[in-house]
């Protein structure tokens, strides 16, 4: 009967032996307890360390990203400032160039006016000297004519002819 009871239980459970199942369940529970005691702690610790490592790496990456963004913003701000300074320098140079151009033109005008006035003054001096020389020549010719007239004691007609002759000579010499 025992065989029959065992086979009946065996057949009712679909060919499974309950005793074997109980032994296997017992060993499975023992295995779980052993795993929990010896392996679960280290595995959980390793997983926690891995989780902390990944979280730390994410935090460092986020921090580095923020620093990179800040650095990029600072670089952009500095670049904008340098562009503004370069534009200002360009504008200042342009204004200075225009001012220097005006200064050069004004200096050239003043120099031209000075040279013109100096030339006019020299022309006036030369003119006065020429007039003075002409007056001196006329005076010396007048004295010469007078002395000749006196020497010859000519009559009035002869004197007029003599004066005209001398004046013609003076006109030809010039």
3-state secondary structure 56-84: HHHHHHHHHHHHHHHHHHHHHHHHHHHHH
Could you tell me the pLDDT band of residue 147, with boundaries at 50, 70 and 90?
A: confident
Cα separation, 127 vs 118, in Å, equals 14
Q: How many domains does the chain have?
A: 1
Instruction: Report the candidate in 102, 108, 81, 105 with the shortest Cα–Cα distance to residue 94.
Output: 102
Domain encompassing residue 51: 2-173
The 10s digit of each residue's pLDDT in 27-64 is 999 998 998 888 888 888 889 999 999 999 999 999 99
Q: Which residue has the tokens 């029959």?
A: 4
């Amino acid at each position: 009967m025992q065989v029959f009871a065992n086979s009946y239980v065996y057949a009712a459970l679909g060919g499974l032996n309950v005793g074997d199942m109980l032994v296997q369940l017992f060993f499975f529970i023992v295995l779980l307890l052993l795993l929990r005691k010896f392996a679960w702690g280290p595995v959980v610790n390793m997983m926690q360390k891995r989780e902390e490592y990944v979280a730390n790496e994410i935090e460092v990456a986020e921090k580095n990203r923020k620093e990179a963004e800040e650095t990029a913003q600072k670089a952009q701000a500095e670049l904008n400032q340098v562009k503004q300074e370069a534009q200002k320098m360009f504008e200042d140079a342009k204004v200075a160039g225009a001012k220097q151009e005006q200064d050069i033109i004004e200096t050239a005008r003043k120099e031209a006016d000075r040279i013109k006035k100096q030339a006019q003054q020299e022309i006036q001096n030369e003119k006065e000297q020429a007039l003075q020389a002409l007056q001196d020549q006329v005076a010396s010719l007048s004295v010469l004519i007078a002395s000749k007239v006196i020497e010859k004691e000519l009559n009035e007609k002869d004197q007029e002819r003599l004066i005209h002759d001398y004046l013609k000579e003076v006109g030809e010499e010039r």
